[in-house]
Chains A and B, each alone.
Chain A
Amino acid sequence: LAKTTQPISMDSYEGQEVNITCSHNNIATNDYITWYQQFPSQGPRFIIQGYKTKVTNEVASLFIPADRKSSTLSLPRVSLSDTAVYYCLVGDPNQAGTALIFGKGTTLSVSS
């Protein structure tokens, strides 16, 4: 499984856009990139998933360059409630029974 590298922590203020970049140099052809959010004492929550180019949903955008060796999660106009740990994971979602291996994640702290 491809290893991912993210910044350990990031700080931001309310209303700002936050971009968290993840590198995954050994991503395989069938791998997708998935981002999860985790609050303390809770299970991870799915944010967004993509394969290439750009994906956008109601909470975030995911930018993936052509070589797919990295990806950037973009959170528009963060609020205090976005303070959490964000995990970038790569894997083949079509491989039934394949676990997701979590890296260290990025702790995002949003201040007022």
Chain B
Amino acid sequence: GAVVSQHPSRVICKSGTSVKIECRSLDFQATTMFWYRQFPKKSLMLMATSNEGSKATYEQGVEKDKFLINHASLTLSTLTVTSAHPEDSSFYICSASHPGPTNEKLFFGSGTQLSVL
């Protein structure tokens, strides 16, 4: 199946710094990518929908100035957590929408564990 690569898999940063997470669709072009956040033993929560060449659409309650999303190409979307604080520590997962006639439409990255000290 299609592959979505997410990098880094784990990052530790100091409070107040910014962290960038990359999500790449390796063998298909993804007009739309999605960013999720997951706390321990909780379900995935949709943060935003990222569309190539346009502004991201954020879910209610998600601060767009804190979680900057850029989808500059059909294979890359980035999530930047700005001025990170300990409460931003979480597991972040991206997914990409496959355009082809496949049974599986959404492919997920392996996630990024962010720990803010």
Interface set of A (CB-CB < 8 Å, partner B): 41-46, 49, 87, 93, 96-105
Q: List, sorted by A's number, 21 A–B pairs whose CB atoms are closer than 8 Å.
A: A43-B6, A43-B95, A43-B108, A44-B93, A44-B95, A45-B108, A46-B1, A46-B106, A96-B32, A96-B99, A97-B32, A97-B49, A97-B97, A98-B97, A99-B46, A99-B95, A100-B34, A100-B106, A101-B46, A102-B44, A105-B43
Identify the closest chain B residue to A48 (Cβ): B103
Identify the closest chain A residue to B30 (Cβ): A97
Tell me which residues across on chain A come within 8 A of B108, comparing CB atoms: 43-45
In whole angstroms, how far apart are the Cα atoms of A99 and B44 in the complex? 12
Inter-subunit contact B43/A102 (CB<8 Å): yes
Tell me which residues across on chain A come within 8 A of B91, comparing CB atoms: 41
Inter-subunit contact A99/B6 (CB<8 Å): no
In whole angstroms, how far apart are the Cα atoms of A93 and B99 in the complex? 10
Mostly, the B contact residues are strand
Tell me which residues across on chain B come within 8 A of A41, comparing CB atoms: 91, 111, 113
Question: How many residues of chain B are within 8 Å of chain A by beta carbon?
Answer: 28
Inter-subunit contact A43/B93 (CB<8 Å): yes
Inter-subunit contact B104/A96 (CB<8 Å): no
In whole angstroms, how far apart are the Cα atoms of A87 and B43 in the complex? 9
- Of the candidates A46, A97, A98, the one whose C-beta lies within 8 Å of that of B51 is A97
Identify the closest chain B residue to A46 (Cβ): B104
- The 5 A-B residue pairs with the shortest CB-CB distance, nearest first, are A43-B108, A97-B32, A102-B44, A93-B105, A46-B104
In whole angstroms, how far apart are the Cα atoms of A44 and B34 in the complex? 13
In whole angstroms, how far apart are the Cα atoms of A44 and B91 in the complex? 12
